[in-house]
Amino acid sequence: MSYFTRRTLIKGGTAAAVAGALTGPALLDWAKAWAQSAPWKPEKDAQLSILRWKYFVQSEDDAFVAIMDSFTKATGVKITIARESFEDVQPKASVAANTGAGPDLFWGLYSLPHLFPQKCLDVTDVADYLGKKYGGWVPTAVTYGKGTGNKWIAIPICYNGNLLNYRLEASKKAGFSKFPTTTDEFLAYAKAMKAQGTPGGMALGHASGDGNTWVHWCLWAFGGNVVDKDDKVIISSPETEKALNFAKAMYENYVPGTASWNDAFNNKAFLGGEIHWTNNGISIYVAAQNDPTKKQIAEDMDHALWPVGPIGKPTEFQVLFPLMAMTYTKYPQASKALMAYMLEADQFNKWLTASKGYLTQCLNAYEANPVWTADPKATPFRDVAKRTLTVGGLGSVGEKAASAIADFVVLDMFAAACTGREDAKGAIKIADRQLRRIYR
Amino acid sequence: MAEIAYARVGPKQALGAPTAWNRLKANHNWLGAWFMLPAAAFLILFLAYPLGLGVWLSLTDTKIGRSGVFIGTENYEWLWDDSVFWLSVFNTLLYTIVASAIKFAVGLYLALLLNENLPFKAILRALVLIPFIVPTVLSAIAFWWIYDSQFSIVSWTLRHLGLIAANIDFLGDTWNARWSVIFANIWRGVPFVAITLLAGLQTVSPSLYEAATIDGASAWQRFRYITYPLLTPIIAVVMTFSVLFTFTDFQLIWVLTRGGPVNATHLMATLSYQRAIIAGQLGEGAAISTAMIPFLLAAILISWFGLQRRKWQQGESND
């Protein structure tokens, strides 16, 4: 094995191809050698259970299971995998943290570990090891991993890029040969699409992924912020009001019913041909490709980065998937070994490829993975980790920011303003009060 | 038997010194207390302790994964000014009152129908139970599709019949969403009311109806003066349960709307869950749960004292 080291594997973007060739006995040899040399030695008779979010791309989960299997073969550590929908990972993790019993590892969303930082295993050594080896972490991953503290409480495995999905032909017909790049153009686009009977829409129900993504993008694009860098609540501002007015104008050009949408609604509606643009991960595209009856949708759609608002720089908000080990685990060394193993090039490159663009790396070296260039429609997702802001905006990613997002404060503010239940000022007032409570 | 055994033991004990211990050993109340201990422990462990813990949590600023400190009534003071909380109280009351009233009316009607001599009576009675048998989450998912903003079967049918031009926005509009979840709850709750009332109806002696018919009572009079009075104890029990189940409903709302749109269908139970478990504010969530108790107590008191005020129902003669 000495003639190809892990370092050479990632060189030149051929990593996945080479790693792909590593199968069967060769892979097992590699995994065993890794287990021998890794800084973390699993405890005797160690067993791990991991709870992850339920996949949207089947091949991504298959690759995940393959990684777990090869880890078991290499180290003898048995792994039990449980899956829960996006919304249910957090309650399960919260209850486990509170009772001190449950799965050893949780793979969740956003700043989940910061809801109970003192219950998460210190994984600074794993993060340093990976960062050094794979070209460093993107800055937002460091923020999510450490929060305001000095130690890493979770390993930011990857982002799930949430970008604009749009139908090519309908957009062209509406006069947009390429997707709008500014908020003004975006509004004009929404209007034109609605006018010709091919409207789109973005979720305003309690959709943790799609809903939070677009309202935070909107708030930040106009210079609004939940808190300043000292976690002082500053939601009540003319900028927030502008963002709400923009969102209301957009909402008037959505299909009816977006106020009830959760994360799955826009996928169904887009694949059903009911909407012609929305915000989502790459899962709609992958689903369309996999379904022979939806092939023409896959061919007639593309992805675009979020338009830039008056603030003049990208204000995207992407879903991070952090992996944390709980302090109550009996096998901290095995947990750390697994975390490191998952992000080694031999595993992660295959995983990225299998996820078809649904997952985006937080480690710079993996930008060279061929998944980002093989299909140009996946390329925009390559950069989401670098463009995103973190939960809490200017403020810390700690438990307060996690609480605010989990209680849908910003999302409800937008929904109240868009549906006309409150005017912009009234909606801000309600949000302001709730935020002050959370950030007291 | 116990008295006889006691009488026999009595003289023997009189031979020994009448110590306090001997007297205690022979004391039925003391022994009885011991026999009740398992039941009491059970009640304390599984009922009183969680309830007490909930109330205690509501007086602290506990968060998930971190124990809190006592902060008095701060959580309640905060909720007092919280428009979302009051909206959830309004939603819960509306949901409970409308759904329970309709469930009672429809359930009673169904029970009366099923009490008649119909062909295939047994099968019909079993069929009525179906909404109640299906797990709530499953039926909620079915309703989720029925109410879908783009693919609703109701919208589709009405559109193809030419009755409406655009899809009905069942869950995206504030009031539509409220009525939609209420309807789903009614659909699910009617069988419980109907079958239980049917059981009550079957205990009414046919001879009463025969006598009334001979006296020339109309169908309405037979219902008003025979069926209804004899049914009131069952009604009290059924409606108490129905109100409690409806008031504390969670699954249906959570699957259908998660409290949206804009909190228009948040019940106290769902808001409590969202604040406590999802957002990690255990103390505040517990305060919302605790705030449900007075409403529930009031509901129980109304149905028991309102519907069971007749003394003869409790074995005494009527005034």
Classify strands A360-361 and A155-160 as parallel, antiparallel or unpaired.
antiparallel
Mean pLDDT for B84-98 is 94
Q: Are residues A226 and A279 in the same domain?
A: yes
- pLDDT band at residue B2 under the 50/70/90 scheme: very low
Which residue, chain included where needed, has tokens 């994984």? Answer: A123
Q: Are residues B10 and B128 in the same domain?
A: no
DSSP per residue over A31-74, as a string? HHHHHHHSS-PPPTT-EEEEEEEPPSSHHHHHHHHHHHHHHHHH
Nearest Cα neighbor of A234 from A223, A243, A242 is: A223
pLDDT given for residue B81 in this prediction: 87
In a domain, B45, yes or no: yes
CB-based contact B64 A115, cutoff 8 Å: yes
Best of B87, B167, B278 to substitute, by most chain A Cβ atoms within 10 angstroms, is B278
In a domain, B59, yes or no: no
pLDDT given for residue A138 in this prediction: 95
Q: Is B291 helix (H, G, I), strand (E, B) or coil?
A: helix
Is A437 part of the contact surface with chain B (CB cutoff 8 Å)? yes
- Chain A residue at shortest CA distance from B167: A256
Q: Are residues B42 and B95 in the same domain?
A: no
pLDDT given for residue B257 in this prediction: 87
Q: Give the Cα separation of A264 and B311 in Å (integer).
A: 56
In a domain, A108, yes or no: yes
Q: Give the Cα separation of A225 and A391 in Å (integer).
A: 11
The residues facing A113 across adjacent strands are none
Give, in order, the Cα–Cα distances in Å from B144 to each of A190, B136, B147, B275.
Answer: 27, 12, 5, 24
pLDDT given for residue B314 in this prediction: 53
Distance of residue A206 Cα from the nearest chain B Cα, in angstroms: 6
Q: Are residues B254 and B119 in the same domain?
A: yes
Q: Are residues A240 and A330 in the same domain?
A: no
- Chain B residue at shortest CA distance from A422: B262
Q: Give the Cα separation of B245 and B256 in Å (integer).
A: 17
- For residue B173, the chain A residues in CB contact (below 8 A) are 259
Pick B171 or A23 by higher pLDDT: B171
> Which region, left, alpha or beta, applies to residue B194 given φ > 0 means left and ψ of -120 to 50 means alpha?
alpha
- For residue A252, the chain B residues in CB contact (below 8 A) are none
In a domain, A1, yes or no: no
- Nearest 5°: phi and psi at B67? -75, 150
- Chain B residue at shortest CA distance from A406: B279
Burial of A167 (0-12, 13-18, 19+ CB in 10 A): buried
pLDDT given for residue A25 in this prediction: 67
In a domain, A214, yes or no: yes
What letter would DSSP give residue B226?
A: I
- Percent of chain A whose pLDDT exceeds 70: 94
- For residue A438, the chain B residues in CB contact (below 8 A) are 279, 281
CB-based contact B150 A406, cutoff 8 Å: no
Pick A99 or B90 by higher pLDDT: B90
Q: Which domain holds residue A168?
A: 163-317+407-438
- pLDDT band at residue A13 under the 50/70/90 scheme: very low
Distance of residue A33 Cα from the nearest chain B Cα, in angstroms: 38
C-beta separation of A398 from A392 below 8 A: yes
C-beta separation of A150 from A213 below 8 A: no
- pLDDT band at residue B310 under the 50/70/90 scheme: low
- Chain B residue at shortest CA distance from A401: B279
Each residue's pLDDT tens digit, A306-353: 999 999 999 999 989 999 999 999 999 999 999 999 999 989 999 999
Each residue's pLDDT tens digit, B184-193: 999 999 999 9
Residue B277, CA atoms < 13 Å, CB-side half-sphere:
17
Classify strands A155-160 and A319-325 as parallel, antiparallel or unpaired.
antiparallel
In a domain, B70, yes or no: no
- Chain B residue at shortest CA distance from A399: B280
CB-based contact A115 B260, cutoff 8 Å: no
Q: Are residues A145 and A292 in the same domain?
A: no
CB-based contact A272 B150, cutoff 8 Å: yes
- pLDDT band at residue B309 under the 50/70/90 scheme: low
For residue A110, the domain's CATH number is 3.40.190.10
Q: Are residues B46 and B87 in the same domain?
A: no
> Does a cis peptide bond (omega within 30 degrees of 0) precede residue B233?
no
Maximum average pLDDT range among A41-50, A108-117, B14-23, B31-40: A41-50
Mean pLDDT for B205-229 is 89
Nearest Cα neighbor of A262 from A280, A238, A288 is: A280
pLDDT given for residue A301 in this prediction: 95
Q: Are residues B212 and B274 in the same domain?
A: yes
Nearest Cα neighbor of A90 from A57, A116, A128 is: A116
In a domain, B317, yes or no: no
ipTM of the complex: 0.71
Pick B300 or A229 by higher pLDDT: A229
Put simply, the chain A residues between 181 and 210 with a CB less than 8 A from any chain B CB are 204-206
- For residue B74, the chain A residues in CB contact (below 8 A) are none
Q: Are residues B86 and B206 in the same domain?
A: yes
Q: Are residues B98 and B144 in the same domain?
A: yes
Contacts of B272-278 with C-beta under 8 Å, sequence gap 24+, read B274/A406, B274/A407, B274/A408, B275/A407, B276/B64, B277/A90, B277/A91, B277/A94, B277/A95, B277/B64, B278/A87, B278/A90, B278/A91, B278/A94, B278/A406, B278/A407
Distance of residue B191 Cα from the nearest chain A Cα, in angstroms: 29
Mean pLDDT for B231-251 is 89
Q: Give the Cα separation of A340 and A16 in Å (integer).
A: 18
CB-based contact A205 B261, cutoff 8 Å: yes
CB-based contact A94 B260, cutoff 8 Å: no
pLDDT given for residue A150 in this prediction: 87
The residues facing A51 across adjacent strands are A82, A106
Q: Are residues A375 and A242 in the same domain?
A: no
Q: Are residues A35 and A145 in the same domain?
A: yes
Q: Is the pLDDT of residue A136 over 80?
A: yes
Each residue's pLDDT tens digit, A114-128: 888 889 999 999 999
How many distinct helices (H) and strands (E) make up chain A? 21, 11
Give, in order, the Cα–Cα distances in Å from B265 to each of A429, B174, B256.
Answer: 21, 8, 10
For residue B255, the domain's CATH number is 1.10.3720.10
CB-based contact B151 A437, cutoff 8 Å: no
- Nearest 5°: phi and psi at A199? -75, 170
In a domain, B238, yes or no: yes
Distance of residue B260 Cα from the nearest chain A Cα, in angstroms: 6
Distance of residue A348 Cα from the nearest chain B Cα, in angstroms: 30
Q: Are residues A46 and A154 in the same domain?
A: yes
pLDDT given for residue A16 in this prediction: 42
C-beta separation of A108 from A91 below 8 A: no
Nearest Cα neighbor of A345 from A333, A361, A324 is: A361
Mean pLDDT of chain B: 85
- Percent of chain B whose pLDDT exceeds 70: 90
Nearest Cα neighbor of A420 from B242, B186, B172 is: B172
B177 closest CB neighbour out of A260, A268, A433: A260
Q: Are residues A151 and A46 in the same domain?
A: yes
CB-based contact A115 B275, cutoff 8 Å: no
- pLDDT band at residue B163 under the 50/70/90 scheme: confident
- Chain B residue at shortest CA distance from A437: B78
pLDDT given for residue B10 in this prediction: 47
- pLDDT band at residue B90 under the 50/70/90 scheme: very high
Is A39 part of the contact surface with chain B (CB cutoff 8 Å)? no
What letter would DSSP give residue B60?
A: B
Q: Is the pLDDT of residue A244 over 70?
A: yes
Q: Give the Cα separation of A403 and A347 in Å (integer).
A: 33
Put simply, the chain A residues between 294 and 353 with a CB less than 8 A from any chain B CB are none
Q: Are residues A205 and A156 in the same domain?
A: no
Q: Is A398 helix (H, G, I), strand (E, B) or coil?
A: coil
- Chain A residue at shortest CA distance from B254: A206
In a domain, B136, yes or no: yes
Nearest Cα neighbor of A164 from A319, A303, A309, A317 is: A303
- pLDDT band at residue A265 under the 50/70/90 scheme: confident
Q: Are residues B47 and B86 in the same domain?
A: no
Q: Which of A74-83, A318-327, A396-405 has the lowest mean pLDDT?
A: A396-405
Q: Give the Cα separation of A32 and A84 in Å (integer).
A: 31
Q: Are residues B34 and B178 in the same domain?
A: no
- pLDDT band at residue A23 under the 50/70/90 scheme: low
Which residue, chain included where needed, has tokens 């109330």? Answer: B55
- For residue A407, the chain B residues in CB contact (below 8 A) are 274-275, 278-279, 281
Classify strands A277-280 and A78-84 as parallel, antiparallel or unpaired.
unpaired
Q: Is the pLDDT of residue A9 over 60?
A: no
Distance of residue B104 Cα from the nearest chain A Cα, in angstroms: 30
Q: Is the pLDDT of residue A20 over 90?
A: no
Which helix (H) or strand (E) element contains residue A25?
Answer: helix A24-37
Distance of residue B288 Cα from the nearest chain A Cα, in angstroms: 14
CB-based contact B150 A274, cutoff 8 Å: yes
Instruction: Give B188-225 as a 3 state SS string.
Output: HHHHHHHHHHHHHHCCCCHHHHHHHHHCCCCHHHHHHH
Q: Is A397 helix (H, G, I), strand (E, B) or coil?
A: coil
- For residue B154, the chain A residues in CB contact (below 8 A) are none
Best of A118, A260, A391, A403 to substitute, by most chain B Cβ atoms within 10 angstroms, is A260
Q: Give the Cα separation of A366 and A389 in Å (integer).
A: 20
Q: Which of A185-189, A267-271, B210-214, B260-264 has the lowest mean pLDDT?
A: B260-264
Q: Give the Cα separation of A288 and A293 in Å (integer).
A: 8
DSSP per residue over B251-287, as a string? HHHHHHTTT-STTTT--HHHHHHIIIIIS--HHHHHH
Q: Give the Cα separation of A163 and A317 in Å (integer).
A: 9
pLDDT given for residue A235 in this prediction: 96
Q: Are residues A240 and A300 in the same domain?
A: yes
Please count the structural domains in chain A.
2
Classify strands A47-53 and A78-84 as parallel, antiparallel or unpaired.
parallel
> Which region, left, alpha or beta, applies to residue B288 given φ > 0 means left and ψ of -120 to 50 means alpha?
alpha
Q: Give the Cα separation of B167 and A258 in Å (integer).
A: 12
In a domain, B58, yes or no: no
Q: Are residues A306 and A239 in the same domain?
A: yes
Beta-carbon contacts of B214 under 8 Å, excluding residues fewer than 6 positions away, are none
pLDDT given for residue A95 in this prediction: 85
Q: Are residues A324 and A311 in the same domain?
A: no
> Which residues on chain B place their C-beta less than 8 Å from a C-beta of chain A?
63-66, 78, 81-84, 147-151, 166-167, 169-174, 177, 257-264, 274-275, 277-282
- Nearest 5°: phi and psi at A264? -90, -20
pLDDT given for residue A14 in this prediction: 41
CB-based contact A259 B278, cutoff 8 Å: no
Write the single-letter amino acid at A214.
W
- For residue B81, the chain A residues in CB contact (below 8 A) are 433
- Percent of chain A whose pLDDT exceeds 90: 72
- For residue A406, the chain B residues in CB contact (below 8 A) are 274, 278-280
CB-based contact B169 A257, cutoff 8 Å: yes
- pLDDT band at residue B316 under the 50/70/90 scheme: low
Q: Are residues A353 and A306 in the same domain?
A: no
Q: Is the pLDDT of residue B196 over 70?
A: yes
Q: Is the pLDDT of residue A12 over 50?
A: no
Best of B86, B149, B176, B181 to substitute, by most chain A Cβ atoms within 10 angstroms, is B149
Q: Give the Cα separation of A171 and B216 in Å (integer).
A: 77
Q: Give the Cα separation of A125 and B183 in Å (integer).
A: 55
What letter would DSSP give residue A366?
A: G
Distance of residue A382 Cα from the nearest chain B Cα, in angstroms: 30
Q: Is the pLDDT of residue A362 over 60?
A: yes
Q: Are residues B45 and B107 in the same domain?
A: no
CA A53 to chain centre: 11
C-beta separation of B258 from B250 below 8 A: no
Each residue's pLDDT tens digit, B49-64: 999 999 999 999 888 7
In a domain, B316, yes or no: no
Q: Are residues B132 and B21 in the same domain?
A: no
pLDDT given for residue A7 in this prediction: 42
Is A266 part of the contact surface with chain B (CB cutoff 8 Å)? no
- For residue B274, the chain A residues in CB contact (below 8 A) are 406-408
Q: Which of A322-326, B90-94, B154-158, B302-306 has the lowest mean pLDDT?
A: B302-306
Q: Is the pLDDT of residue A148 over 80?
A: no
Q: Are residues B100 and B11 in the same domain?
A: no
CB-based contact A437 B171, cutoff 8 Å: no
Q: Which of B17-21, B72-76, B215-219 has the lowest mean pLDDT?
A: B17-21
CA B319 to chain centre: 31
Q: Give the Cα separation of B288 and B290 in Å (integer).
A: 5
Mean pLDDT of chain A: 89
pLDDT given for residue A350 in this prediction: 93
Q: Which domain holds residue B159?
A: 82-310
Please count the structural domains in chain B.
2
pLDDT given for residue B168 in this prediction: 86
Is A260 part of the contact surface with chain B (CB cutoff 8 Å)? yes
Q: Is the pLDDT of residue B14 over 70?
A: no
Is A264 part of the contact surface with chain B (CB cutoff 8 Å)? no
CB-based contact A261 B278, cutoff 8 Å: no
